Structure 1
Amino acid sequence: MTRLVAAERAAELLLRSRLDGAPLAELPQDLAPASLAEAYAVQDATLRQIGPAGGWKVAAKPDGEPRCAVLPASAFHASGVTLKVPPAGFEAEVETAFVFATGLPARTRPYQRDEVAAAIGSMHLAVELISSRFIDRKSIPPLSPIADLQGNAAVILGPAIAGWRDIDLAALALTMRLGDARIEWPLKNLGLPQTLEVLTWLANHALTRGGGLARGDVVITGARLGPAPLGDADSLSAECPQMGKVTANFSR
């Protein structure tokens, strides 16, 4: 079996789990990715079946290059949305999102940070909802959850933030409410310069994945608060004095 065929079959299993709500114990050995490139190939195969793409998630790693996932346009929602909770439930993360006003298409030389910064049109407070297609994503080889779009189920975007380039992202005062539960704890967050470095890495990585970043792409940049399990909560809100508020409601 070629790796391309294996990627397509792995994507089919993950999509079936996404649709019927029955999580997988793990991918079959002959379909499980054996390298980061193979995990990304499964992501690409998934998008070929549920696309088009609408953006990305990316997060820095302290011990190596960032990890990312391309996300379908159907994953993105405006604040105030009502979403159905899958059988596996949701975990929620508060993040910052960037929307590209200018595309960064394929070219032979890498993009520089100032080019990436200039291409960004807006920054938003966002909540990512995680729902793994695996029974226990922490107990299986780490490349399989990457293949599973890093567990992404949805992204909820708040309004564009005025003056975002002057906000100290390393010192955000974030809170999240899941129903009546208030969640607030400090994380060591990346400042804007470090976040732009991660976005620059993504812009150049995307050149190898089908042509670069597109105008209108939304990129979320890793948890700044969370993840926290939704549990039985039927509502969610995330707030930040500098960045506004994001809300969502849930049905079962």
Structure 2
Amino acid sequence: MQENLGHQSIAEAFVDARKTASAFHSYPGEIPQSMDEGYAIQDIAIALDGRQIGGWKVGRVPPDRVEKFAAERLSGPIFVDEITDAANGDVPEMPIYGDGFAAAEAEVLLRLGSVPQEECDIDTVTRYIDDVRVGIEIASSPFSQINGYGPAVTVSDFGNNKGIVLGPSIAEWRDADLLTMPVSLQIDGETVGSNNMADMLDGPFGSVVFLLNLLRKRNRAITPGIWVSAGAITGVHDVESGQTVKAGFGDNLEASCKLVAI
């Protein structure tokens, strides 16, 4: 019971800080020591927040933490009001916690259709995806040191997510070799990272399989239309208010946004 009370107070601290844009520089309670603890805090925070979930971000657990936390990936909710469609080439303003942590990541974003109850694998999960877009994840938290305390802490604050930018769809993605598509991320016109999806464990579809299994374990609904932000491709790039971020994919697909502190 005491542990649950601790989880409650941590969740309340994060939800309040996000609503008021109040940064803090130390963890607001006892640091969770397992992924289960992190997700328990996250579940309380989701209920306290009360907004509709429109997607889930998937991130990679640092290799030196995989054994301790018995996980290679982590996840957090993306709320509907923090999903911005910029497929028409707009450069939307995206909020970040100016005194907290803020980063941008080039990602592919996959939309789920109707998903069956039985488990999927990487060869069958594509049947239940109805759109794949290029885009950007905004990773931001009022806790300025969130990435320094391990994946369970990251999970406890919504997986360190503050929204996504949906760029244009990848045409004929089922037949495309997504793993070898060149991806880059620029900040104010300077390229800060480039890579492809071959380094993403088992790729973006593996991220979807992981998420589906995790949501089932957590007894969370998997509803049609949910977006999956599949993980950083070029790295996690620190950003500041006023900067413009552009993610480029292949020869002619891109998504951009401007960052604004709240």
Superposition TM-score, scaled by structure 2 size: 0.82
Cα displacement (A) at 1:28 = 1.5
* Partners of 1:92 and 1:229 within 8 A in 2: yes
2:109 maps to which of 89, 92, 97: 97
Structure 2 residue 28 is matched with structure 1 residue 27 = yes
* Residue ranges of structure 1 left out of the alignment (5+ in a row): none
Structure 2 residue 81 is matched with structure 1 residue 74 = yes
- Matching residue of 1:229: 238
Superposition TM-score, scaled by structure 1 size: 0.85
Q: CA RMSD in A?
A: 2.6
* Partners of 2:54 and 2:78 within 8 A in 1: yes
Q: Structure 2 matches for 1:1-252, cutoff 5 A?
A: 1-18=1-18, 19-29=20-30, 32-50=31-49, 51-61=51-61, 63=66, 64-79=71-86, 80-88=91-99, 90-104=102-116, 107=117, 109-186=118-195, 189-190=198-199, 194-231=203-240, 233-241=242-250, 244-252=253-261
2:250 & 2:175 partners in 1: Cα distance?
14
Q: C-alpha deviations, 1:190-226, integer Å up to 9, x for none?
A: 4796432331122121112233421011001111013
2:166 & 2:107 partners in 1: Cα distance?
10
* Residue ranges of structure 2 left out of the alignment (5+ in a row): none
Q: Number of aligned residue pairs: give it.
A: 247
* Partners of 1:238 and 1:247 within 8 A in 2: yes
**Deviates further, 139-148 or 162-171:** 139-148
Structure 1 moving runs of 4+ over 6 Å = none
Counterpart code for 2:8: E
Cα displacement (A) at 1:142 = 4.1
Identity of aligned residues (%): 21
Cα displacement (A) at 1:20 = 2.7
